[in-house]
Amino acid sequence: TRRSFLQTTAAAGAAPAAAPKRPNIVFVFPDQMRGSAMGFLGEEPVLTPRLDAFAQESLVLTEAASNYPVCSPYRAMLMTGRWPHANKVVSNCTQLSYAHGVELPTASRCWSDVLSDTGYSLGYLGKWHLEGPRQPYVESYNNDGPVKWNEWTPPERRHGFRHWIAYNTYDRHMAPWYWTTEMTRDDRLKVDQWGPEFEADQAIRFIANEGGELRDPDKPFALVVSMNPPHTPYTQRPERYRKPYDAMPDDKLFSRPDIPPAGTENGDYYRKNIRDYYAMITGVDEQFGRILDALDEHNLKQDTIVVFTSDHGDCIGIHEEQHKNNHFEESMRVPFLVRWPGKIPASQDKLLLSTVDIYPTLLDLAGLGDQIPPEVDGRSRAKLFLGQADGRPTGQLYLRIPYEAPQLGRRGVRTERYTLMVDKLESGQSKVELYDRRDDPYQLEDLAEKRPALVAELLAQYVQPYLDASGDPWRKAHT
């Protein structure tokens, strides 16, 4: 390869070149923001002026998907590049799943570990949600009920992130709290500010390297900003973001054919919540813009890869689903925009990016492709990002795994045209759904009974190779 040739000639006596300056990385991902909810796409009446402008400078992947569209499994795939059975996070991290071993292992080699070991200064801000809550449980409102959610992340489990202002999960957006780098489990930083605004403030401090102590000024940096909104509760956001939607007519907001009718439980749920959901996205957009402005202010735009994405979407009542963790577009499809001026050409692309691809792609873009651990399941898409020829994926796996019975649950695939979901039930039966998104983009007609040969073909082409390679126990009894 060209790289090995250059290394060989350098070793043969040519003057050694200075190590290439590696790009900074800023990775921003709000929680539960569906891929169609950006104004520039023209699919939903949501106001995102900063993302609209950012898209003009970015590669926009309009068909990026979350392979397991719920919080912890996405985050573990993001950090490890591995499928859930390999990374151990087969469902959300709570004390119930922790009893079954669901937690990001300390020994996992995350992309942040690689960056830390190769000279990056790292920061993490916001929601982490990869810890199993332990007894005695942290005093937190969401640890009071039968399911425990919140937990401190000890320094040895932060995977290279030296600057740390984070929590496991805590859904009080107007009064969040965090553990900072030096805090013990019994400490708290309680904040009287909307979470994304506080996190943008902290991102700006990190970028500016306030006090010269937040990061090493002589090293490239990587910063993750994990915002909780537009996750529920939808009403927990500054009032100013809601005002434009109060003025928006109902027929503009409720025109999609997959919204259940008014007077039904889920139709009313959508109508009650969509203005607040959009308001939170508009707020996230504004705070993301502030982070971009900080990069401009410190002349870091050219040297920084910026990614904006989300862990999954949100149905809000569409398809009779009030949340995520399903195979519908509103849940699986996520935003994915990446900007690197002068390196990544600005364009829109229907690349079927999978969550596990992000890790190797980031390392490859940073010039660290040779540091990608062999156990990583994802594939680098860096060449495609850079506008070069490379093989393109033709499908994205869909997963939903019960931690107490991982041989059951859902497996499936999302291709350019079709979405297949097979749900293995305790009864031994399977529920199958198949949608042709080209002819039926709102997924209103299930074709599984009409097209059994296509169901079998998609299982054989996409799901079976994954089962064979991953050790997923679903393979032992799927029909």
- Rounded to 10 deg, the angle between the 358-365 and 71-80 helix axes is 40
Residue 479 has pLDDT above 90, yes or no: no
Identify the residue with better confidence: 191 or 15: 191
- Give dist(CA 353, CA 394) in Å, integer: 9
| Residue 15: pLDDT band with limits 50, 70, 90 | very low
CB atoms within 10 A of CB 417: 11
- Give dist(CA 207, CA 298) in Å, integer: 8
- The closest alpha carbon to 206, from 171, 181, 239, belongs to 181
Residue 2 has pLDDT above 70, yes or no: no
CATH code: domain 405-476 is 3.30.1120.10
Quick one: DSSP state of residue 438? T
Share of the chain above pLDDT 70, in %: 95
Residue 458 has pLDDT above 70, yes or no: yes
The residue extents of the domains of the chain are 21-391, 405-476
Task: Give me the pLDDT at residue 416, please.
Answer: 98
The radius of gyration computed from the CA coordinates of the chain, to the nearest angstrom, equals 22
- Give dist(CA 44, CA 442) in Å, integer: 13
Q: Tokens standing for 322?
A: 């009030």
pLDDT tens, 399-446?
A: 999 999 999 999 999 999 999 999 999 888 899 999 999 999 999 999
- Spell out a b/e string for 20-38, using b for 16 or more CB atoms within 10 Å of the CB, else e: eebbbbbbbbbbbbbbbbb
- Give dist(CA 47, CA 53) in Å, integer: 12
pLDDT tens, 239-248?
A: 999 999 999 9
Q: CA angle, 127 as apex, 126 and 131 as ends, to 5°?
A: 135
pLDDT tens, 351-384?
A: 999 999 999 999 999 999 999 999 999 999 999 9
Task: Give me the pLDDT at residue 475, please.
Answer: 72
Average per-residue pLDDT in the chain?
Answer: 95
Can you list the alpha helix ranges (DSSP code H) found in 298-423? 329-332, 358-365, 382-385
- The closest alpha carbon to 181, from 164, 166, 206, belongs to 164
Residue 126 exposed, middle or buried by CB count within 10 Å (0-12, 13-18, 19+):
buried
Task: Check: CB of residue 234 under 8 Å from CB of residue 280.
Answer: yes
User: Hey, do 21-391 and 405-476 end up sharing a CATH topology, with the first three levels equal?
Assistant: no
| Residue 19: pLDDT band with limits 50, 70, 90 | low
Residue 32 has pLDDT above 70, yes or no: yes
- Spelled out in words, what is the top-level CATH class assigned to the domain 21-391? alpha beta
Mean pLDDT of 10-22: 56
Mean pLDDT of 376-400: 98
| Residue 28: pLDDT band with limits 50, 70, 90 | very high
Task: Give me the pLDDT at residue 52, please.
Answer: 99
pLDDT tens, 77-136?
A: 999 999 999 999 999 999 999 999 999 999 999 999 999 999 999 999 999 999 999 999
Mean pLDDT of 223-231: 99
Residue 385 exposed, middle or buried by CB count within 10 Å (0-12, 13-18, 19+):
buried
Task: Check: CB of residue 377 under 8 Å from CB of residue 83.
Answer: yes
Give the DSSP H or E segment for 396.
Answer: strand 395-400
Residue with tokens 């350019």: 416
Give the three-state DSSP class for 119: coil
Mean pLDDT of 175-185: 98
Comparing 98-102, 187-191, 210-214, 225-229, the range with the smallest average pLDDT is: 210-214
